[in-house]
Amino acid sequence: MYISRLAVDHYRSWESLVVDLQPGINVLYGRNGLGKTNLVEALEVLSTGSSHRVSSSAPLVQRGQHKATVRANVQEDEHTTTYELTIPLRGANRGRINNGSSLYMRDFVGRISCVCFSPDDQHLVAGDPNGRRNFLDQTASQLDPSYYQLKQDVTHLAQQRGALLKQLSHSQEVLGGDSYTDNSQAALSTLEVWTAQFIQQGMKLTERRLQLIRSLQGPIQDIYQQLAGSDQSVHMTYLPSFAEVIDDGVSAQSATRISQHFQRIYAGEVARGQNLIGPQRDDMAFVLNGMEAKGYASNGEEWTLALALRLAQFQLLAQENNHQPILILDDVFAQLDEHRRRQILNFANDQNQVIITVAAATDLPQVDDVHVIDVADIADQHRIAMEEVSL
């Protein structure tokens, strides 16, 4: 499987652009700020339904526009399939396949499998938990699109609970103590219903993330040893908010214990007007040779861990989905020493399709059979063609 054409309309800095791609290694080459990352990010969003750079869709839409569109032609066994994603400024993204009817994202994500390695990935090890949750969510959605819907449900329930807690907090501030208006009594009953659903769906999400981390453990350990030496050890530890699921799985016992936890923190949640626990606060840690990587690992070790994590993601997706994902290497060569570049290129050489972005000619990979695309050049050609059509 490979992408033969990628087209975007009103996506970030791009008014409109069409890029033809080939199997093997493709290099998108152009100056800083030209929009290379925007292009590969568009592919990531088409594949996973989200971008690792932002948590909402609004920044993906070109300033001043109300929706963005990403289209890709995918070649598989002589067949071409066109995938199209519409990203509105507000509201849910929708997909279409071969100009068919509009699809919910749960029926669309994961159809094109891709793994994106970028300079931001160092933050997967040392940055805030948001990036690590995003990694888990993107990977799990590509393995099983029903995860995408589950994640949406949990996010929605957390938002509903948060709004009710804010309302209760406000009532308490106005009335003081434990006095409640009829409105806040109704909010209290609704909160109980939302909390029960939040626990049920949240436990399922927690278990899916736990399974994913367990599936990545073997590959990341092997790959890290290949990259850094056989005496090295890496352990991924899940730090879930609903930790009860680790011991008792998705069960009545777990639900009861989580419910009791919610009762204990109720006063605190109302006082602060926000959710204090739930999968939206989950995290995971990397333990490198017995020490937590965050805070202890060197810069080079963080990079190697991030790379090992991406390659483990690639291996798992390839194995579970029975085809190789498209590999995106976004501006990583500028950050890596010659040894690491060579390791990545050796890996890239064996894949169906790889898309690399580089800003400097000195970072162009020194390998045979590379399809170099001058992004400024195709942008000019496309603009001239569009102007001729409109004349």
Quick one: 62 or 167, whose CB is closer to ligand ATP?
A: 62
Q: Which of 31, 27, 73, 124 is nearest to 330 (CA)?
A: 27
Rounded to a whole number of angstroms, the minimum distance from the CB of residue 30 to ligand ATP is 6
Quick one: 30 or 219, whose CB is closer to ligand ATP?
A: 30
Quick one: 50 or 254, whose CB is closer to ligand ATP?
A: 50
Q: How many CB atoms lie within 10 A of CB 116?
A: 26
- What secondary structure letter does DSSP report for 114? E
Residues near 360 by beta carbon (within 8 Å), at least 6 away in sequence: 334
| C-beta of residue 139 within 8 angstroms of C-beta of residue 317 | yes
The only residue of 331, 341, 353, 363 in contact with ligand ATP, by rule CB under 6 A? 331
Residue type, 368: D
Rounded to a whole number of angstroms, the minimum distance from the CB of residue 90 to ligand ATP is 14
Most distant pair of Cα atoms in the chain: their distance: 75
Size of the residue set binding ligand ATP (CB under 6 A): 17
**Would you call 16 helix, strand, or coil by DSSP?**
strand
Quick one: 258 or 344, whose CB is closer to ligand ATP?
A: 344
Rounded to a whole number of angstroms, the minimum distance from the CB of residue 326 to ligand ATP is 18
Q: The tokens of 17 are what?
A: 């652009």
Between CA 75 and CA 28, with CA 308 as vertex, the angle to 5 degrees is: 45
Q: The tokens of 67 are what?
A: 């929706």
The only residue of 4, 5, 9, 13 in contact with ligand ATP, by rule CB under 6 A? 13
> Is 34 marked as a binding-site residue?
yes
Q: Which residue blocks in the chain are alpha helix, DSSP H?
A: 36-48, 122-126, 129-143, 146-175, 182-228, 244-248, 252-272, 293-296, 299-321, 338-349, 375-390
What distance in Å separates the CA atoms of residue 16 and residue 73, rounded to the nearest whole number?
16
Establish if 329 lies at the interface with ligand ATP (CB under 6 A). Answer: no
State residue 286 phi and psi, 5-degree precision. -110, 125
The owner of tokens 């970072």 is 363
Q: Which of residues 15-54 bind ligand ATP (CB under 6 A)?
A: 30, 32-38
Establish if 59 lies at the interface with ligand ATP (CB under 6 A). Answer: yes
Quick one: 12 or 208, whose CB is closer to ligand ATP?
A: 12
Rounded to a whole number of angstroms, the minimum distance from the CB of residue 45 to ligand ATP is 13
> Is 30 marked as a binding-site residue?
yes
> Is 35 marked as a binding-site residue?
yes
Quick one: 48 or 51, whose CB is closer to ligand ATP?
A: 51
The only residue of 63, 79, 264, 339 in contact with ligand ATP, by rule CB under 6 A? 63
What distance in Å separates the CA atoms of residue 117 and residue 317, rounded to the nearest whole number?
14
> Is 37 marked as a binding-site residue?
yes
Angstrom CA distances, 147 to 65, 98, 150, 250, 311, stand at 30, 24, 5, 15, 21
Q: Which of residues 346-375 bind ligand ATP (CB under 6 A)?
A: 357, 359
Stretch that binds ligand ATP, among 59-67, 90-98, 145-153, 262-270 (CB under 6 A): 59-67
Q: Which of residues 118-137 bind ligand ATP (CB under 6 A)?
A: none
Q: Cα–chain-centroid distance for residue 362? A: 30
Rounded to a whole number of angstroms, the minimum distance from the CB of residue 261 to ligand ATP is 40
The only residue of 2, 7, 12, 93 in contact with ligand ATP, by rule CB under 6 A? 12
Quick one: 13 or 289, whose CB is closer to ligand ATP?
A: 13
Rounded to a whole number of angstroms, the minimum distance from the CB of residue 4 to ligand ATP is 22
The only residue of 47, 51, 57, 62 in contact with ligand ATP, by rule CB under 6 A? 62
Rounded to a whole number of angstroms, the minimum distance from the CB of residue 379 to ligand ATP is 11
> Is 290 marked as a binding-site residue?
no
Rounded to 10 degrees, the C-alpha dihedral 244/245/251/255 comes to 50
Q: The tokens of 290 are what?
A: 């017995």
What distance in Å separates the CA atoms of residue 232 and residue 313, rounded to the nearest whole number?
19
Quick one: 87 or 157, whose CB is closer to ligand ATP?
A: 87
Quick one: 32 or 99, whose CB is closer to ligand ATP?
A: 32
* Known binding-site residue numbers for ATP: 30-37
The footprint of ligand ATP (CB under 6 A) covers 12-13, 30, 32-38, 59, 61-63, 331, 357, 359
List residues forming the annotated binding site: 30-37
